[in-house]
Amino acid sequence: MSGGHGHIDPSNKRIALLIAILALFLALAETAAKSSQTDALNANVEASNLWAFFQAKTIRMTAVTTAAEDMALSRDAAADEAVKAAMSRQIETWRQRAARWDNEPETNEGRRQLSVRAQAAEKKRDVAYKRYHDFEISSAAFQIAIVLASAAVVTGAMFLAWLAGGLGLVGIAFSAIGLFKPGLIHLL
């Protein structure tokens, strides 16, 4: 209030509007940060599950490959042709199973496919974490800007309002980076 007449200083109205706008952008940045964090965690779990599946397939493959190699040695030492033929069929079954576990494009669950899927999930996770960090920096800029704008109302120091506006622009810039080019700042 100026002069005790019940009038609100027009500059305080503008600063109040600035604070409201900064608070709006802060809420949007916080929501985007939380969403990005959730996306990163989900992608991390997905990558972890895919790598575990990959490892399980590798263990199975190793077990049947070893069994096939061991049976091939036993087959070569066997005298009975019927036993040799049965062993050869079992060896071939195990080798086919191992080959299917390694490459199964029809189900997208062979080791090769699982590796590609896990790497894609890791990339998605990394982008989401970068996006999350950009939005967190944006949120911090908005929060500091709100504090500075509030201090400008109390102290009447207009440079604090201008500084708050500048930090608001920094917050908007980091939000834009988070949306369109996550991690850009990390590359510099």
Proportion of the chain above pLDDT 70, given as a percent: 95
Query: How much is the pTM?
Result: 0.82
Per DSSP, the three-state class of 34 is: helix
Please state the separation of Cα 94 from the chain's center in Å: 38
* Average pLDDT score over residue span 2-16: 73
Query: Which tens digits make up the pLDDT trace of 116-150?
Result: 999 999 999 999 999 999 999 999 999 999 999 99
* Cβ–Cβ < 8 Å for 128, 43: yes
Residue 9's pLDDT is what? 77
* Cβ–Cβ < 8 Å for 121, 113: no
Query: Which tens digits make up the pLDDT trace of 24-36?
Result: 999 999 999 999 9
Res. 1: pLDDT tops 50: no
CA–CA separation, 148 and 171 (whole Å): 14
Query: Which tens digits make up the pLDDT trace of 67-84?
Result: 999 999 999 999 999 999
